[in-house]
Amino acid sequence: MSFVDKMLVCRDCGNEFVFSAGEQQFYQQKGLLNEPGRCPPCRAARKAEREGDALGSYDARPRREMHPAVCAECGADTLVPFLPRGDKPVYCSPCFERMRTGIR
């Protein structure tokens, strides 16, 4: 199938942009059925909005609350993503990895 550059209109800014033959071929190879609805600058702006800006004012996923603990293996102060209950040992990341892989 032969592709030819197409002019499309961005649904956000209303400007025309080129949907190149190469992009059309890429879309077909990836199984994408719909043409892009936004121009590249509007796509980039939307992606940045979804991922949060450089200042970190918006996160798509909330940050984990970390809790202080003392590693049961080496005694180092560490932070863990759960509230230690005291009835089970808590390990720092290096010790946890060694315990998990069976390396002592």
User: The tokens of 62 are what?
Assistant: 């909330």
CA neighbor of 98 nearest in space, from 65, 66, 76: 76
Res. 91 pLDDT band, cuts 50 70 90: very high
CA neighbor of 38 nearest in space, from 70, 9, 79: 9
**Cβ atoms of residues 83 and 69 within 8 Å:** no
Domain assignment present for residue 91? The answer is yes
State the DSSP code for 70.
E
Domain assignment present for residue 33? The answer is yes
Shared-domain flag, residues 47 and 71: no
Shared-domain flag, residues 47 and 12: yes
Q: How many domains does the chain have?
A: 2
Q: Would you say residue 55 has pLDDT above 90?
A: no
Shared-domain flag, residues 10 and 38: yes
Determine the residue type at 32: L
Shared-domain flag, residues 11 and 35: yes
Between 6-10, 16-20, 45-49, 69-73, the lowest mean confidence (pLDDT) is in 45-49
Res. 40 pLDDT band, cuts 50 70 90: very high
Residue range 73-93: average pLDDT? 91
Half-sphere exposure (Cβ direction) of 95: Cα atoms closer than 13 Å: 15
Domain assignment present for residue 59? The answer is no
Q: Would you say residue 101 has pLDDT above 90?
A: no
Which residue segment(s) compose the domain that 40 sits in?
6-51
Helices (H) and strands (E) in the chain, counts: 3, 4
